[in-house]
Amino acid sequence: MSLSSEELLAMLDEKIKFGIGLGEKLQDIRDVDGMMKLQRKIRQEIQFLKRLQKSKKVKIEQLSCSNLRHLGAMVDCALRPGVISVCKIFHINDESKLVIDIISDNGKTWTKVIARNPKSLSALSSGNASYGARSILDQAEDYLECAKLYPCMYQPPKVVFEFVSGIEESLANKLQTIGVIVKGDTLPDSHPVEDSEDSWNSDNSDNNSVHESLNPQTTLLQVSQCIEDHPEITTLNLDVTAMMAYISNMTNGHCGYIFKQGVLTQQGAWEAERPVRPVLEKLFDGKTLICCKTAWDNFEKIVNTLGGPMETKRAEELKQRIRIYPDNFGGLDDYPRQNLKVRGHVRLRSKIIFNFGHRMKALTVSANEGFVRAAKQQGVTYAAFVHESRALTEGKEPTATKITL
């Protein structure tokens, strides 16, 4: 049955209102990584529909190919607890990239949202499609391949395909066989059908596809939670900043000074309130400590230049506890980390140190939150424990004013 122009315009108006409502729903979670990208996709759909509304020449096919239903399903998923990122891009190689709809569970779960007609999905997966069209099985294999490249705490993220409109049983079984977790109503198999206008409804988005970085930890309770959550981590890779914080006079009972350098006075106040050494001691307990040669050489140079007698002694004691490896130990970097661009907060030294930790399957301990954040912006995440920064201060104490209570 054909629809009148008035009926089509009414349907168009409802879609526009629906899209505006989606944007409003996202206001409560606008700080989630990638949310601006999702909002932009919604705005683009609304603008397209408004242009149709202005022209007053609406066809049912134009309404059918709107992506708002898929975006609406993404919004519903994004509003769930535990979501940390949406529309996240990852590269498989120089030519291929995938966009993950939803990342949750601290990076351990990747979810693709599919709102397409279940009959059409089955038809496409059985080869009943034009040349070059990629089926949901093809996309699942891409997801699984990419997940292996971007492990979270050294385990590939779980891949979940959530079918908003349901999925036919045979296709669901095929996906589960190759390792995809299937969510959505399982429907009886139908006979293969031609890909119809409805099949394009709501899933014309990019061909979708963090290693986890722990949030900055500053209390013993948070360290305990970290250790409890990740019992598989038995090796710690120490960054230069971690070794400095560990041996600094400031973290070893001498934080009560007003230094000529304002940044040191500020760190001293933080140390009095949130001591770093006990945090690191608890984290180090029972763990194998390692570092690469670049980290140790830079640390040793800083100690020799700025360190006082007690800091130098603590550095020598730390050397007895830590295993120092060549920078390239463990083989070649994987594709994402090899291609991490050195710019801004991504310095070559930090790239060498964090990549070494990744190859060694170690938790990298560092105060370099800027590197972790900048690398993440390039799509590369690391297993990292980020603590507050502390400088070497013993050599500055003679010109500082001691705080008396």
Q: What is the CATH number of the domain that holds 235?
A: 3.40.50.1010
Among 48-57, 186-195, 274-283, the least confident range: 186-195
pLDDT band at 326 (very low <50, low <70, confident <90, very high): very high
Co-location of 235 and 302 in the same domain: yes
In this structure, the answer to whether residues 177 and 252 fall within a common structural domain is: no
The residue-averaged pLDDT of 373-379 equals 85
Percent of the chain having pLDDT more than 90?
Answer: 48
- The verdict on 228 and 349 lying in the same domain is yes
Point out the domain boundary residue: 200, 228, 261: 200
pLDDT score recorded for residue 168? 92
- pLDDT at position 344 is 82
Q: In the listed set 170, 200, 230, which residue is the last one of a domain according to the structure?
A: 200
User: What is the rounded average pLDDT of the residues 327-343?
Assistant: 90
Rounded distance between C-alpha atoms, residue 134 and residue 355, angstroms: 34
d(CA 205, CA 165): 16
Do 186 and 272 lie in one domain? The reply is: no
Return the sign of the alpha-carbon dihedral for residues 185, 191, 197, 200. positive
Q: Are residues 194 and 226 in the same domain?
A: no
264 found inside a domain? yes
Instruction: Identify whether residues 180 and 298 lie together within a single domain.
Output: no
Lowest mean pLDDT among 124-138, 324-338, 382-396: 124-138
Same domain, 188 and 277: no
Mean of pLDDT values over 118-142: 73
How do strand 384-386 and strand 363-366 relate by DSSP bridges?
A: parallel
**Statement: residue 204 has pLDDT above 60:** no
Are 171 and 276 found together in one domain? no
Question: What does pTM read for this prediction?
Answer: 0.65
pLDDT-wise least confident of 14-23, 164-173, 217-226, 351-360 = 217-226
Mean pLDDT of the chain: 84
Tell me: do 86 and 186 sit in the same domain. yes
Q: Is residue 91 part of a domain?
A: yes
Residues 6+ apart with CB under 8 A from 28: 79
Residue at which a domain ends, from 200, 233, 256: 200
Query: Is position 368 within any domain?
Result: yes
384 and 253 part of one domain: yes
Q: Is residue 313 part of a domain?
A: yes
pLDDT for 206 equals 34
Are residues 176 and 318 both part of a single domain?
A: no
Query: What are φ and ψ of residue 111, in 5° steps?
Result: -120, 130
- Cα–Cα distance for residue pair 17/193, rounded to 1 Å: 32
Quick one: which of 35, 62, 39, 40 has its CA closest to 51? 62
Whether residue 211 lies inside any domain: the answer is no
92 pLDDT band (50/70/90 cuts)? confident
The answer to whether 400 touches 271, Cβ cutoff 8 Å, is: no
Question: Residue 354 — very low, low, confident or very high, per pLDDT cuts 50/70/90?
Answer: very high
pLDDT at 74: 92
Nearest to 236 by CA among 387, 389, 385: 385
Which domain range does residue 132 map to? 5-200
Rounded CA gap, 25 and 92, in Å? 32
CA–CA–CA angle 121, 134, 114 (5° rounding): 45
Whether residue 167 contacts residue 184, with contact meaning beta carbons closer than 8 Å, is answered with yes
Are 190 and 141 a contacting pair, CB within 8 Å?
A: no
- Domain check: are 151 and 86 in the same one? yes
Q: What is the CA radius of gyration of the chain?
A: 27
Cα–Cα nearest to 29, from 83, 67, 73, 69: 83
Amino acid code (one letter) for 185: D
**Position 250, amino acid:** M
Give the mean pLDDT of 252-270: 90
How many folded domains does the chain comprise? 2
Residue 379 confidence (pLDDT):
85
Task: Judge whether residue 133 has pLDDT over 70.
Answer: no
